[in-house]
Chains A and B, each alone.
Chain A
Amino acid sequence: MTEILVLVEHVDGDVKKVTLELLTLARSLGEPAAVWAGPGYSEVAKGRLAEFGAEKVYVADSADIVDYVVAPKAELLASLVASRAPAAVLIASTAEGKEIAGRLAVKTDSGVITDAVGLGEGFVADQSIFGGGVNVHSRVSKGTPIVAVRPNSTAPVPSTGAAAEEKVDVALSDAARAAKVVERVKQEKGARPELTEAAIVVSGGRGVGSGENFAIIEKLADSLGAAVGASRAATDAGWYPHAFQVGQTGKTVSPQLYIAAGISGAIQHRAGMQTSKTIVVINKDPEAPIFEIADFGIVGDLNQVVPQLTEEIAKRK
């Protein structure tokens, strides 16, 4: 069977859930080969990739690959595309993942599809465009299909693979070393699941009123094992870090359950959460546009409703 390359997303040596999703998808279309870019490859990582069906793991663990912006990862993938002639390359459709996909497409003269929410026979991708208004099937017509798939598009299913390790040396070009990362600043997220990967997201907006009051959003999130998100109004006000912004210029999330408290539902916010399976809204204004996409909504003051909900959840556990 032909190989399908899956670029691994990892933090602190741990494989992210989206990679397990991509491996699951790749298995249905060919033979998954994981590509590990950057330092930190470990037995634990190998175990995870094997558990979800990676037959091979290409390991390129030089620090240079992550110390320069995007270009090195695209170069690594391009060299593998040239030498292994894979049937396709799958990448997570995150802001950086899309940039890697874009450079790779130029390098390999291949078509690229971003924000896929499904992938089928012949690498036909499902996309949901115009804020969820139109569903599209698209496919690559030239070169090796490069598909960026959104996190949470498919459920990861285990199935053992060999995960045979193969070291890859890439001699990075000067052009790939043009933009150097000189410092990394991490905004703490605590023990909560990562926003784009979480099954449940609880988001707060301007209606939360202050940074301190975000504690009620966090408590509700913790009672559900959820991630916390925020609207732009809340991140602009400095109530919550920008890394947690949901929307057009923040993260795109597609959880099983999205709870929006004190968020009006501007188009730019909806662009980042409209594909959530179930949407619950708490807002004191019955005219707020977010109610248009709510499966269940409460018209009320979040300062009352949210703590009561948190308490109820605790009671029923």
Chain B
Amino acid sequence: MNIVVCVKQVPDTATERKLRSDDKTLDRDAADGVINELCEYAVEEALRLKEAHGGEVTVLTMGPDKATDTIRKALAMGADKAVHLVDPALHGSDALSTSYALAQTLKKIGFDLVILGSESTDARTGMLAAMLAERLGTPQLTLANKVEISGAGITVQRVTDYGFDKVEASLPAIVSVVEKINEPRYPSFKGIMAAKKKQVQTFGIADAEIDAAQVGVANAWSEVADFAVAPPRAAGTVVKDEGDGGVKTADYLASKKFI
């Protein structure tokens, strides 16, 4: 089975994240780039499926040069090889362009199963997997907390508002995972060393037959009109419980008319 995992590099949520003042896109230099957490769960799931059913795991990332760190991390976990889609024309792409660029690349490299995280910590659109399914005409098995494969059939548990749905489809398919699905492994020393020798293929937009007029900040379908740093929350009152903490909280709630 040919499994492709879409992995994104995001600014570390522990550092201050910014938009650029010039083109109002994410400032990728302001913060350290790390692998998007949910993408680690996606890599882990791909590795487990490979261990159970055989095949190969390819990491696919669209991002600037420094996204190679993120690719190495996924390779160190155990993925077999990687494709890095990198081109200045892609800078500032929105969800529609990103899904288009990834779909074009996926058509080139081929797949039985594509696994994504259900959300990234920076864009947080949560739309990528659904958009890929739409563009590629493949079944959408998203928000999965469990994936099972038997032959050409695939079943997932899809997390819903009220609990979960059991969903069936046949391969090839697009899956996105939530963090309940597994516990990602830490790369071993051996894994880290091995990752250095694994093949990372670089694609520019021409290699993936991506139309330059469909990507990048100038061609985005939506735009940031303006932005401002939010005023910090006013410091609140914190009191130590002296046996009357519940009463004091009730006083506060009453002062705010909640009771």
Q: A interface vs B, CB < 8 Å? A: 11, 69-71, 74, 94-96, 98-103, 105-107, 109-115, 124, 128-143, 175, 178-187, 189, 194, 200, 224, 232, 235-236, 241-243, 248-249, 256-257, 267-268, 271, 278-282, 286, 291, 293-301, 304-313, 316-317
Contacts and interface: CB of A to CB of B under 8 A. Distances in A.
A113 B125 CA distance: 8
B222 A112 contact: yes
Contact of A296 (B133, B135, B162, B252): B252
Interface of B: 13-14, 16-19, 37-38, 94-96, 99, 118-119, 121-122, 124-131, 133-135, 137-143, 145, 158-169, 173, 178-180, 220-230, 233-234, 236-241, 243-250, 252-254, 256, 258-259
B17 to A, nearest CB: 4
A291 B238 contact: yes
- Nearest first, the 5 closest Cβ-Cβ pairs linking A and B are A308-B246, A300-B241, A102-B127, A111-B221, A312-B250
B53 to A, nearest CB: 20
25 contacts: A96-B143, A102-B99, A102-B125, A103-B130, A138-B225, A141-B220, A175-B137, A180-B168, A181-B165, A182-B168, A183-B166, A224-B259, A249-B178, A257-B258, A267-B14, A280-B249, A291-B236, A295-B234, A295-B236, A296-B249, A299-B239, A300-B240, A305-B241, A308-B245, A313-B250
A96 B169 CA distance: 18
Interface centre among B94, B158, B246, B253 (most CB of A within 10 A): B246
Given A143-B221, A298-B241, A241 B163 contact: yes
A242 to B, nearest CB: 6
A140 B125 contact: no
A113 B226 CA distance: 14
A256 B259 CA distance: 13
Contact of A316 (B224, B236, B245, B250): B250
B227 A103 contact: no
B162 A103 contact: no
Given A137-B226, A181-B167, A224 B258 contact: yes
Nearest to A242: B180
Given A115-B125, A257-B256, A298-B248, 6 more contacts: A102-B99, A102-B128, A143-B221, A249-B38, A293-B233, A295-B236
Contacts of A317: 259
A185 B246 contact: no
A311 B244 CA distance: 12
Nearest to A180: B168
A95 B38 CA distance: 15
A7 B159 CA distance: 21
B134 A71 contact: yes
B165 A183 contact: yes
Given A113-B222, A249-B119, A267-B14, A99 B236 contact: no
A182 B256 contact: no
Contact of A70 (B130, B222, B233, B250): B130
A182 B167 contact: yes
